[in-house]
Amino acid sequence: MLFVNNTTLRIKARMGTAGKYYWKSIKPGERIDLQSYYGFRLGLTEVKEEVEEVKEIKEKPKEEVKEKPISKKEEKVDKDYEKKLSKIKGIGDKTVKDILRVYPTRTALKTALNNNLELPFRDDVVKKIKKKFRK
């Protein structure tokens, strides 16, 4: 139930379970959600109306999920490039997909390697990619 502290004092409430509890300080005018018997025992008053924000959230209609169309550049992945990446020992399917997401073409990967850019992958994966694709 939702309670409000209508007193001028701060009230300390013990929250949590028997083994793992903490103390919560309830300031004057602050609202808190407690079990009914505990809220009344602390001397708090029950809030009869539902909070306006909660009503707005309940009444808000669900938005439809719009799927982003895949561009033609993302559809066309060089299959040879993908096969070369997947043949490297220690690089799995998920890592290959991550590499293709960051560097969709072989030329993009080679450009990054030749310009000594830091690749956003694990160190062992970067070493293997450099060994296979540098120059």
Binned average pLDDT, 10 residues per bin, the chain of 135 residues: 87 88 89 87 82 57 65 64 89 90 89 88 90 80
* 66 found inside a domain: no
Q: Which residue segment(s) compose the domain that 95 sits in? A: 72-133
- Residues 79, 39 share a domain: no
- Structure pTM? 0.43
Between CA 77 and CA 108 the distance in angstroms is 12
Torsion angle, CA of 89/90/96/102, rounded to 10 degrees?
A: -120
Residue 53 structure tokens: 């924000």
Which pLDDT value is given to residue 48? 79
* 65 found inside a domain: no
Identity at 22, one-letter amino acid code:
Y
* 121 found inside a domain: yes
- Residues 77, 44 share a domain: no
Between CA 45 and CA 37 the distance in angstroms is 11
The count of domains in the chain is: 2
* 67 found inside a domain: no
* 47 found inside a domain: yes
Which pLDDT value is given to residue 40? 87
- Torsion sign across C-alpha atoms 66, 69, 74, 76: positive
Please, which residues bridge with residue 2 across strands? Answer: 33
